């Protein structure tokens, strides 16, 4: 098969020796002549439709059944040597001495080039490409870029957190001023939480996770804005915490540094999808001026040394949501399957149905910790208010205050890799290790929704 095309088109293209990139003239059965460059068929669409790029840059599809004849008019042009790329800045900035920021790639892209000939977008995480795409970072630090691995955000697993922890630790040991981790946005907050726990006993410099909600091939991409913000944090923030640095609002004005254990992706597509839940973000960053405005003064201070790594995550932890359905059956299955721990997103204050309590009791008896957070996200779990809650406590669940459920899951995974003792587990889960628990919510720690009228 030629370049994703179906049998008929493949045969036709093979018969004249045409390949993607070749310029062809297509004569249709209705007597029209179309000239353009053959493009490979991408996943979407009918493989019996030939896609041709016209001289004007537009693509059109011609169905095999309408093609009378195809002839080659020009072979795929060997492109001249790629010239020295045009620099975005008039003068290359000279980085401040002895400030080095390491950018680690894990997936997600900061830099892309678009091949306007074929329409292909080539993302890249190479040092050279990143510096070409966002040269302003050099105003704050020298940069080294390294790709740990490249996976789609949704493919992330706990063993990959461990690799990222190792990579970050290695960089910190080498003496960098801060580390930036480029990550796909979908599961970025899980990984950020994972690193928060792995480094909670000693982190001398900031670790800033960053991603993009608009891909980097477009002029409106938020990749550069976010990366610049993250580098500013890594290079000069006074705090040494694991944070997620993303757009603060829809406009290109400021970004926010959220604690890795407090942040959540709250929108499928908006730039400002990442928000802190039940807590204030740590800082505002204005990438145009390089200014950092601290919003929460209780942070761990940057120092020259003191790295302590507590790596290791349990990969057999379940994370389930209570819903009006056979939840008890699900819990029983998890116990049968030998899961090491279960996090339940309970309703409201953290409740599950009575039939599920039986399953919980069994889990605890078998040494499986059951941790409870709330699916309302905002507010605190409280199992003392209603009798169901009290029964849950009796059964041995571990309520985790105002911890967001995803963080509870990551934390349990980390705790289970350290101890399987239920008492120890309870102690660790209910202690505030990395800022994941807050004991005071003032009234503004809840978004104000739009209710019509003047916005």
Residues 182, 108 contacting (CB under 8 angstroms): yes
**Active-site residue identified among 28, 118, 186, 430:** 186
Does 250 bind other proteins (CB under 8 A)? Our answer is yes
Q: Respond yes or no: is residue 185 known to be catalytic.
A: yes
In the residue annotation, 109 being an active-site residue is answered as yes
Reply yes or no on whether 265 is catalytic.
Answer: yes
Contact call for residue 398 and other proteins (CB under 8 A): no
Out of 53, 171, 185, 236, the active site residue is 185
Q: Which of 265, 388, 391, 402 is catalytic?
A: 265
Instruction: Report how far apart the first and last C-alpha atoms of the chain are (Å, whole number).
Output: 56
Which listed residue (109, 187, 191, 407) is catalytic?
109
Query: Nearest approach, Cβ of 186 to other proteins (angstroms)?
Result: 15
Beta pairing partners, 35: 25
- Which of 273, 292, 313, 286 has its CA nearest to residue 184? 273
SS3 325: coil
Return phi, psi of residue 131, to 5°: -70, -30
Q: Are 365 and 345 in contact (CB under 8 A)?
A: no
> How far apart, in whole angstroms, are the C-alpha atoms of residue 137 and residue 147?
18
Select from 131, 278, 269, 287 the least CA-distant residue to 208.
287
Q: What is the nearest approach in angstroms of other proteins to the Cβ of residue 386?
A: 39
> Is residue 333 part of the contact set for other proteins (CB under 8 A)?
no
Within 338-367, the residues that bind other proteins by CB under 8 A are none
Assign residue 98 a region: left if phi > 0, alpha if psi is -120 to 50, beta otherwise?
A: left
Rounded Cα distance between 436 and 419, Å, is 19
Q: Which stretch binds other proteins (CB under 8 A): 108-116, 175-183, 200-208, 278-286?
A: 108-116
H or E stretch at 59: strand 59-63
Among residues 186 and 314, whose Cβ is nearest to other proteins?
186
Three-class DSSP category at 143: strand
Residue 373, classed as helix, strand or coil, is strand
Residue 325 makes contact with other proteins by CB under 8 A: no
For other proteins, the closer of residues 134 and 257 by Cβ is 134
Total of residues contacting other proteins (CB under 8 A): 61
Out of 94, 220, 297, 304, the residue judged to bind other proteins by CB under 8 A: 220
443 near other proteins (CB under 8 A): no
Cβ proximity of 302 and 238 under 8 Å: yes
**Dmax of the chain from CA atoms?**
81
Query: What part of residues 133-152 is at the interface with other proteins (CB under 8 A)?
Result: 133
Nearer to other proteins, 236 or 271 (CB): 271
Give min distance, CB of 61 to other proteins, in A. 3
> Which residues of the chain form contacts with other proteins (CB under 8 A)?
28, 30, 32, 34, 42, 44-46, 49, 51, 54, 56-63, 66, 79, 82-86, 88-90, 111-117, 119-122, 132-133, 214, 217-221, 224-225, 249-253, 268-271, 454-455
**Residues belonging to the active site:** 109, 185-186, 265
């Amino acid at each position: 098969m030629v370049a994703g095309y179906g049998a008929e088109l493949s045969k036709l293209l093979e018969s004249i020796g045409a390949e993607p990139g070749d310029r062809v003239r297509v004569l249709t059965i209705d007597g029209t002549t179309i000239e353009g460059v053959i493009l490979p068929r991408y996943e979407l669409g009918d493989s019996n439709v030939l896609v041709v790029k016209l001289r004007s840059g537009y693509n059109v599809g011609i169905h095999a059944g309408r093609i009378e004849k195809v002839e080659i008019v020009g072979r795929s042009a060997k492109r001249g040597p790629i010239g020295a790329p045009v620099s975005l800045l008039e003068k290359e900035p000279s980085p401040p001495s002895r400030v080095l920021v390491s950018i680690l790639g894990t997936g997600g892209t900061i830099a892309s080039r678009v091949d306007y000939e074929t329409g292909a977008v080539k993302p890249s995480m190479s040092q050279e490409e990143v510096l070409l795409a966002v040269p302003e970072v050099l105003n704050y630090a020298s940069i080294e870029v390294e790709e740990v691995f490249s996976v789609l955000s949704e493919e992330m697993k706990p063993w990959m957190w461990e690799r990222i922890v190792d990579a970050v630790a290695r960089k910190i040991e080498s003496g960098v001023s801060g580390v930036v981790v480029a990550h796909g946005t979908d599961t970025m907050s899980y990984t950020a939480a994972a690193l928060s726990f792995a480094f909670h006993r000693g982190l001398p410099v900031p670790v800033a996770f960053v991603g993009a909600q608009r891909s980097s091939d477009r002029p409106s991409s938020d990749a550069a804005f976010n990366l610049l913000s993250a580098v500013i944090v890594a290079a000069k923030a006074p705090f040494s915490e694991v944070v997620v640095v993303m757009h603060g609002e829809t406009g290109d004005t400021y970004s926010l540094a959220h604690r890795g254990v407090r942040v959540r992706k709250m929108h499928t597509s908006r730039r400002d999808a990442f928000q802190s839940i039940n807590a204030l973000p740590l800082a505002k960053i204005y990438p145009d001026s390089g200014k950092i405005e601290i919003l929460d003064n209780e942070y761990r201070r940057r120092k020259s040394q003191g790295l302590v790594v507590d790596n290791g995550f349990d990969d057999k932890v379940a994370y389930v949501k209570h819903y009006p359905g056979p939840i008890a059956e699900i819990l029983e299955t998890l116990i049968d399957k030998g899961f090491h721990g279960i996090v339940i997103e309970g309703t409201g204050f953290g409740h599950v149905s009575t039939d599920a309590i039986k399953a919980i009791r069994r889990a605890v008896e078998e040494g499986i910790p059951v941790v409870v957070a709330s699916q309302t996200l905002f507010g605190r779990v409280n199992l003392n208010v209603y009798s169901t809650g009290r029964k849950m406590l009796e059964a041995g669940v571990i309520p985790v205050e105002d911890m967001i459920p995803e963080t509870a899951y990551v934390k349990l995974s980390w705790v289970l890799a350290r101890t399987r003792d239920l008492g120890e587990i309870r102690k660790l889960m209910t202690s505030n290790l990395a800022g994941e628990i807050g004991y005071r919510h003032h009234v503004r720690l809840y978004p104000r929704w739009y209710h019509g009228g003047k916005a």
